[in-house]
Amino acid sequence: MDGSGVYYAQQRPEMLQFIPKDAKRLLDIGCGEGGFGGGVKQHLPGCEVWGVEPFKDAAQVAASRCDKVVNAPLDQVELPDAHFDVVTMNDVLEHLPYSEPALAMVRRVLRPDGRLVMSLPNVAFYLNVRDLVFKNAWEYQDFGVLDRTHLRFFTQHSAVRLLEANQFEVLSIQGINAHKLKPHWAALFALFGGLMKPMRCPQFAIVAKPI
């Protein structure tokens, strides 16, 4: 799918609530067509938004919505040290063969008191687990948890461990975009309570700080 497709047009308004209200400079890694960056500028007037996007068509659209867009692969991007109050990565790490170089770059460009705000797909999402356990199925799709472009898979616990191993302190982690449950699933979730709570959402949002 090219950069003009729906894949790069997502605005992700559910992630705006996690952006610190006093952010003055924000870097959106994997900014697509800049829908989220444009939303940040509306949500926080005066915030300077930069984007990084490797796909040329998407980067060109993003340039009309963000203050600056770098059209290059992440490992070739040159950015100033300790420049940003916030770095966002909305469903990015799962597309990378290795997470560590990206997280090292984030640490470098963040201010010491800055924040990393990111989302990740939840491989423990209950519909994914249902298909695996009861249907013996692991079918890749165009979108979603099993997007065919995903190279890595995360649970809430494994995401926290990854960030901690790369010198970030996780300040909050919570499920987002929860599905409305059918009655039999709602009863099951109620029965097992907190044990199944992380399985209800196909994605989770994380706020972390460098340490």
Domain 6-122+142-178+202-210 matching CATH 3.40.470.10: the answer reads no
pLDDT at position 3 is 39
Map the chain to HEC letters.
Answer: CCCCCHHHCCCCHHHHHHCCCCCCEEEEECCCCCHHHHHHHHHCCCCEEEEECCCHHHHHHHCCCCCEEECCCHHHCCCCCCCEEEEEEECCHHHCCCCHHHHHHHHHHEEEEEEEEEEEEECCCHHHHHHHHHCCCCCCECCCCCECCCCCCECHHHHHHHHHHCCEEEEEEEEECCCCCCHHHHHHHHHHHHHCHHHCCCEEEEEEEEC
As a whole number of angstroms, the distance between CA 137 and CA 154 comes to: 18
Which one, of 123, 205, 122, 206, lies nearest residue 168 by Cα?
206
Could you tell me the two tokens for 179?
């599905």
pLDDT in tens, the chain (211 residues): 333 355 577 889 999 999 999 999 999 999 999 999 999 999 999 999 999 999 999 999 999 999 999 999 999 999 999 999 999 999 999 999 999 999 999 999 999 999 999 999 999 999 999 999 999 999 999 989 999 999 999 999 999 999 999 999 999 999 999 988 888 888 888 888 777 888 989 999 999 999 9
- Give how far the C-alpha of residue 136 lies from the chain's centroid of Cα atoms, to the nearest Å: 28
Could you tell me the two tokens for 77?
């991007």
pLDDT at position 7 is 59
Sign, Cα dihedral of 170, 91, 181, 140: negative
User: Cα dist. 105→79, 99, 100, 108, 116 in Å?
Assistant: 9, 10, 9, 5, 11
Could you tell me the two tokens for 69?
């867009």
